[in-house]
Amino acid sequence: MKPSESRIWEPQCECMDRAELEQLQLERLEATLTRVVRHVPFYRRRFEELGFDPDEFRSLEELRKLPFTTKADLRENHPYGLFAVPLRDVVRVHASSGTTGLSTAVGYTRNDMRTWSTLTARVLVAGGVTKEDVVQIGFDYGLFTGAFGLHQGAERLGASVVPVSSADARRQVGIMRDYRTTALVTTPSHALNVADAMIEMGVNPASLSLRHGLFGAEPWSESMRKEIEDKLEIVATDNYGLSEVMGPGVAGECLERSGLHLAEDHFVFEVIDPETLQPLPDGQVGELVITTLTKEAIPVVRYRTRDLTAILPDRCACGRTSRRMARVKGRTDDMLIVKGAKVFPSEIEAVLFEVEGIAPHYQVQVDREAGVDRVTVLVEVSESIFFDEMKRQRKLEETIVKRLAAELGVTVDVKLVGKKTLERSDGKARRVVDRRPRE
Ligand code: DLL
């Protein structure tokens, strides 16, 4: 048996025959649509306007006729306006992290909690975690769904959970060493901070028990994965989710690491063109749209995630039959238009990790001068380079500018800054600082 074959938490669901899965999706979708029409005035109104009757719903394709739900809809109905159950049936409330403004409340019934921990357990198992593992959770415990979500999944599968929360990187290293942590769960940017702290503290990764890293909650690049894996001497997997539909557990990589398996028995996934709003075929990058199939407290229909990805067409070698999505490229609202070209911070990141002599910490600043957007990439460099002669600094700057121009198709400004000048985050990294005046 290949090692990956034994790493499936719920084979009866994750390896389901496709026709059977689609039938299950259809049944669950009908139930969800009936439930929202009955219990959520927002959906009732919208469906009535359309003359849509859930009882006449016959095929998954018909979902495309329904309107999208957006972040603005959630905001207008904050905190409990979109809940389909009374608050007495809600056992937990969390919130989206508010990356792009006000965060919005989400709730879970007892059944939702059960589903959630099952799905995060799937992600953990797919990433190599077993009940023998000691799982260190480095996400912030609070309204953010990351810590509680993965914590519950790890407990569910019987692993030993160390709920450190989003402590400073050195503290994470100390605990990792003392508690013999075998799996680290956090954001990729925090994982890199932990790796750097480990080097500074003179801790040899080979002396630790750490083997797996499950990272998510923010975009990261393949080059960043390599950097983290090399520094921490682990296997790192990517996992994705968003609080509006549940939190972590929506999708996660298996050890094949060729795309994130989608929990299709609990959600319907579509990819649309964010401008025309038309569905895109598998393989094409567009905005991910998610409909919940089993959520009781706050079901959502065609939620526009603003995350850019593609559904991968082929089957994975691991044995799961679920489709996968490509690593998230970024959010539609993170996209910068530089001299007419579309640029994502993750593309900048991928280049930076390949340039020798720079610490891979960066920030993208956007200003507007005389009506034109100006992008400056701040890059941290090692002390030796920063205090080195100007000539060497210039040369490095030029190399980065050239490499970025080759990749992005436009020239952006690059500024080298000293080590640790850029803000470090214990949670999601703030990669873009937008200083353009608000319109
Ligand atoms: O970040 C849920 C989560 C927690 C996922 C822990 C994975 C691990 P929110 O705070 O609501 O929920 O933020 C959701 O974060 O729409 C994406 O833009 C981004 N995001 C989440 N996971 C990834 C990922 C959690 N693996 C928003 N890659 C989403 C890229 C991600 N972006």
Domains with residue ranges and CATH for the chain: 1-333 (3.40.50.12780), 336-434 (3.30.300.30)
Q: Which of 328, 332, 334, 425 to mutate to test ligand 1, by most ligand atoms within 8 A of the CB atom?
A: 328
10 Å CB burial of residue 125 (0-12, 13-18, 19+) is: buried
Pairing of strands 372-381, 413-417: parallel
> Residue 149: what pLDDT?
98
> Residue 313: what pLDDT?
84
Distance CA 90, CA 298 (A): 10
- Contact in structure between 316 and 324 (CB atoms under 8 Å): yes
* Residue 330 Cβ contacting ligand 1 at under 6 Å: no
- The tokens for 335 are 């996209």
* Residue 188 Cβ contacting ligand 1 at under 6 Å: no
* Residue 360 Cβ contacting ligand 1 at under 6 Å: no
- The tokens for 45 are 């109104």
> Residue 6: what pLDDT?
54
Name the residue at shortest CA distance from atom 10 of ligand 1. 97
The rounded Å distance from CA 26 to ligand 1 centre is: 27
The rounded Å distance from CA 216 to ligand 1 centre is: 6
- Contact in structure between 394 and 432 (CB atoms under 8 Å): no
Q: Which atom of ligand 1 is nearest to the CA of 96?
A: 11
Distance CA 18, CA 321 (A): 7
Distance CA 433, CA 438 (A): 13
| DSSP category for residue 206 | G
> Residue 256: which of 299, 328, 197, 315 has the closest Cα?
315
* Residue 96 Cβ contacting ligand 1 at under 6 Å: yes
What is the gyration radius of the CA atoms in the chain, in angstroms?
A: 22
> Residue 4: what pLDDT?
43
> Residue 1: what pLDDT?
37
* Residue 145 Cβ contacting ligand 1 at under 6 Å: yes
Q: Which atom of ligand 1 is nearest to the CA of 95?
A: 11
> Residue 173: which of 208, 218, 125 has the closest Cα?
208
| DSSP category for residue 245 | T
- Taking the CA atoms of residue 127, residue 24, residue 68 and residue 37 in that order, the dihedral angle to the nearest 10 degrees is -130
Q: Name 417's Cβ contacts closer than 8 Å, sequence gap at least 6.
A: 378, 379, 380, 381, 386
- The tokens for 181 are 């942590």
* Residue 216 Cβ contacting ligand 1 at under 6 Å: yes
Mean pLDDT of successive 10-residue stretches along the chain, which has 439 residues: 64 97 98 98 97 94 96 95 98 84 90 98 98 97 96 98 95 98 97 95 97 96 94 98 98 97 98 97 97 98 98 94 96 85 89 84 90 88 77 91 93 91 87 83
Distance CA 176, CA 171 (A): 8
> Residue 425: what pLDDT?
82
The residue count for the chain:
439
